[in-house]
Amino acid sequence: MMPGAARVGVVAVLAAALAGALTGSAPGAAARSTSGSITAPPEVASFRSTRDYPDIPVPVRLRVPAVRVDTALQPLGRNADGTIAVPADPDVAGWYTEGPRPGQPGPAVILGHVDSTTGPAVFFHLARLSPGDAITVDGADGSTRTFRVTRVTRVPKDRFPTDLVYLPTLQPALRLVTCGGSFDRAAHSYRDNIIVFADLA
Amino acid sequence: MPGYAVRTIPRTSDKRAARDRRTIAVVQTRRLLLRRSAVTTFLAVVCLLVAAAAAVSCQAPAPRRSAGQPVAHQHHEEAAPPPSAADAALQLQVLLGHHSILAAELMRGRLRGDDAYTKAAAAAAEKNTQAMASLVDSLFGPAAAAQFTELWSGHITALADYAGGLAKHDAAARDGATARLETFERTLAAFFAGASKGRLSQQAAQAAVLMHVQHLLQQADAYAAHDYPAADRIDRQGYTHSYAMGKTLVAALVTPAQAAALDSPVWVLRSELSRLLGEHVVLVVSAMRAGLTNGPDFAAAAQSVNDNTRELTAAVGSMFGAPAAARFQSLWADHIDQIFAYTTGLVTHNAQRREAAVTRLGTFEAQFAAFLDQATADRLPSTTLAKALLMHDQMLLAQADALSAKQYQQANDGTYATYRHMTDLAGQLAQAFGATVASRLPVGGPHTGYGGAAASVEHG
């Protein structure tokens, strides 16, 4: 003989099961008592909001097959005068660390020299890139992200489009920047910049 | 930085005390609200929202014009000018995003056999169509708006019929709906291609419309097969695509000079924030609906909420760094946890649990406002933000109440108002975030050449 309380419980469970069958309750619906209240903890009670998000690695290598670029990446910051630092080695490109990492939302910026004092440097052929060309960036964790060139522009240095190059858009993108145009020997500087815009493939 | 209205709010010595007072006031307000009945609370909030939404909504009746007037001269002298390309694109994105959610909800309601929910979703989709038609009217006149309305309403009906065919395992009904949708794709593509004056090819327009329809059909197929993770993944893709489609369409429908505004970083940032924050609202409401009925689709819906949170956090991280992202996510997660704790309180009829959730939300609002104030170097006034976040939470809780009471039409109206509230807030956030990042950007073009190959570079 079942105790009274247990019998009440069994009847309640059977009634709930029967009610579920009659009303065509969807699978996963909580058991309900005869009064209609849910007796099992509802799934929503176990909800916990996520406390993590994708960790995009620091970029360590850049490859641009169309212009035979395959280079390590050095971290770049800003100089005291507010200008961006440039790679110390003309044969190595650099990633601007105060912006997004390649693959994070927003434009990641990578700089490289077009030439040294003696000859061509790592980004010598950058201006030859065309829309659709592939750019890959290796992360410190061994992962690789591929970008596709969307456009290539040449702009005067004194009208450099800071907003288009650096400002956040939340769309993972890449900007490759080097020098171009004519060389001002008095100022020891090229007059223009070449900017390659690329989106995550 | 051009394009940003930088606003600086001076700090005051008693700022912390003021925040504390606001926190107390927020909690007291919440407690008062909680003591009212759910319906009373909901109605009070909706009244506020309707008034607020009316001020910004594109559902406001557009000025009528004579159909006989040339398009270029159709706007009456007293009529409001048509929206700028930037505003029109944002409005269309917001409306298309909401449409994609409503269409999916309509189809899912039919698949669940929930007639009341389906009927309310259909009514909300119709309101959304009217809002889009008003936007088309403001850009191209009433004849174009009427043509658009007929086409757009027809495709919603066909989508609902497809879901009905799925629910009843009626292949003929599905095939019939699919055939009507294919006709719709071609006709609507021709409509947009024609309106673009050749800037958008029929092929490109049809590809965009086809993808929109495919997302909706595929999410319904997955939902019918009880593959809820796939259904929600496709639904999110469809929502994201609707924002891309909105930009593509407006970029083609206006002149190239006007369309250039859609490439400005601040516009893109605002659009992306609108997408993510608006999605936060519709995903939370969808998960609340599933949670309130303890439906089998709750786990997937909750996962989608978390995926959106990860995207928002990644966005904050890319602009403000990892420590800020961690702080943001902690606060944001607390906020969502309490929304679902409140929902749990509704399911279990536990008033104490609901009240505790409301109290904790009051803490979140003040803390989150303070976080944004600090992250943006005082460009976002925390008082205004706290009020906005308070309203956001009240709106979400009111929708939980309405869904719990199966007041689906009220819930849908509230969801739209909440969605609009967040997409509008995204505009303020984009301004402040953009200006904050702009203030620390490098100056000028980099010097990345020494002239050793200048002859080759100059002629390269």
Q: Regarding the domain with residue range A59-200, which homologous superfamily does it belong to in the CATH classification? A: Sortase (2.40.260.10)
| Closest-CA residue of chain B to A127 | B460
**Amino acid A20: pLDDT:** 34
Which residues of chain A make contact with B299, given a CB cutoff of 8 A?
43
With a cut of 70, say whether residue B17 has pLDDT above it. Answer: no
State the DSSP H helix or E strand holding residue A175, giving kind and residue range, or none if neither: strand A173-184
Rounded-to-integer distance, Cα B275 and Cα B271, Å = 6
What's the DSSP call for residue A7?
A: H
With a cut of 90, say whether residue A138 has pLDDT above it. Answer: yes
Residue with tokens 């006007």: B258
With a cut of 80, say whether residue B218 has pLDDT above it. Answer: yes
List C-alpha distances in Å: B37 to A164, B32, B34, B132, B338: 51, 10, 7, 35, 19
Contact flag B458-A182 (C-beta cutoff 8 Å): yes
- Most confidently modeled range among A15-29, B42-56, B364-378: B364-378
Which residues of chain B make contact with A84, given a CB cutoff of 8 A?
442, 446
Burial A93-110 (b: 16+ CB within 10 A, else e): bbbbbbbbbbbbbbbbbb
- Banded model confidence at residue B430, pLDDT cuts 50, 70, 90: very high
Question: Which of A42, A47, A83 is facing B442, going by the closest CB pair?
Answer: A83
- Banded model confidence at residue B30, pLDDT cuts 50, 70, 90: very low
What's the per-residue H, E or C state across chain B?
Answer: CCCCCCCCCCCCCCHHHHHHHHHHHHHHHHHHHHHCCHHHHHHHHHHHHHHHHHHHCCCCCCCCCCCCCCHHHCCCCCCCCCCCHHHHHHHHHHHHHHHHHHHHHHHHHHHHCCHHHHHHHHHHHHHHHHHHHHHHHHHHCHHHHHHHHHHHHHHHHHHHHHHHHHHCCCHHHHHHHHHHHHHHHHHHHHHHHHHCCCCCCHHHHHHHHHHHHHHHHHHHHHHHCCCHHHHHHHHHHHHHHHHHHHHHHHHHHCCHHHHHHHHCHHHHHHHHHHHHHHHHHHHHHHHHHHHHCCCCCHHHHHHHHHHHHHHHHHHHHHHHCHHHHHHHHHHHHHHHHHHHHHHHHHHCCCHHHHHHHHHHHHHHHHHHHHHHHHHCCCCCCHHHHHHHHHHHHHHHHHHHHHHHCCCHHHHHHHHHHHHHHHHHHHHHHHHHHHHHHHCCCCCCCCCCCCCCCHHHHHCC
Tokens encoding A63: 């490859």
| Closest-CA residue of chain A to B1 | A163
Measured between its terminal Cα atoms, the distance across chain A in Å is 70
Tokens encoding B269: 């940032």
Mean pLDDT value across chain B: 84
**Residue A29 · residue A41 · CB < 8 Å:** no
Residue type, B14: D
With a cut of 50, say whether residue B19 has pLDDT above it. Answer: no
Mutate to test the interface with B, among A52, A53, A84 (most CBs of B within 10 A): A53
Phi then psi dihedrals of residue B115, to 5 deg: -65, -40
Contact flag B333-A49 (C-beta cutoff 8 Å): yes
| pLDDT per residue as tens digits for the range B136-183 | 998 888 999 999 999 999 999 999 999 999 999 999 999 999 999 999
With a cut of 80, say whether residue B294 has pLDDT above it. Answer: yes
**Amino acid B9: pLDDT:** 30
Rounded-to-integer distance, Cα B162 and Cα B220, Å = 9
**B340 in contact with A at a CB cutoff of 8 Å?**
yes
Q: What are the domain boundaries of chain B?
A: 1-35+264-440, 83-262
| Closest-CA residue of chain A to B305 | A49
| pLDDT per residue as tens digits for the range B347-387 | 999 999 999 999 999 888 888 888 999 999 989 888 888 88
Question: Which of B265, B337, B440 is facing A164, going by the closest CB pair?
Answer: B265
| pLDDT per residue as tens digits for the range A28-57 | 334 444 455 546 789 999 999 999 998 899
**Amino acid B21: pLDDT:** 39
Question: Which of B265, B314, B329 is facing A169, going by the closest CB pair?
Answer: B265
Contact flag B451-A45 (C-beta cutoff 8 Å): no
CATH 2.40.260.10 location in chain A: 59-200
A-contacting residues of B 203-242, CB under 8 Å?
Answer: 226
Burial B19-37 (b: 16+ CB within 10 A, else e): beebbeebbeebeebbeee
Mean of pLDDT values over B241-253: 94
Which residues of chain B make contact with A100, given a CB cutoff of 8 A?
318
